[in-house]
Amino acid sequence: MTSDNALLQRTVDQVMDTLPGVWDRIRFNLRSAAISNFGITLEQFHVLRHIRKGYASVAELAEKKQISRPAISQAVDVLVGKGLVIRQINPADRRSAHLELTPYACEVMDANFEKNRQWMKEKMQGLAPEEMQQVLQVMEILHNTFIPEERSF
């Protein structure tokens, strides 16, 4: 194996070893806070997150999550009952309903995401400015490599 191939292999291995663990910790903190703040299950949290992203019907959510419509409908019923989701029935087709988060759910989710950002800042505050710059550069490189159509940096 040439040195370039060996370096490529080490890089791929390091990314595969590092990113899943980092993302798992970030997601764990985000979900834990949401679940304790809302008193909901992990699955219900995912439904809220997907509604927030624009999946506005039970059919869309079921397709996105790859689970049955009755299962999603049951989760939505609980979230409506907790005052976290608004279900607006389509007058032209009573089987169809538009879903959106309540203002309260938006506020709590925003606060939850901000709390997670604060946790991340605490974890990263010990990095030297040069290290933070390196992290930024690596994240930009990874983003451009794996998600080139979405330029957010």
Residues of the chain with pLDDT under 70: 1, 150-153
Which segments of the chain belong to CATH 1.10.10.10? 40-101
Return the pLDDT at 150: 57
Tens digits of residue pLDDT in 68-112 = 999 999 999 999 999 999 999 877 777 778 999 999 999 888 888
Return the pLDDT at 153: 39
Distance CA 96, CA 80 (A): 16
The top-level CATH class assigned to 40-101 is mainly alpha
Return the pLDDT at 151: 45
Return the pLDDT at 111: 85
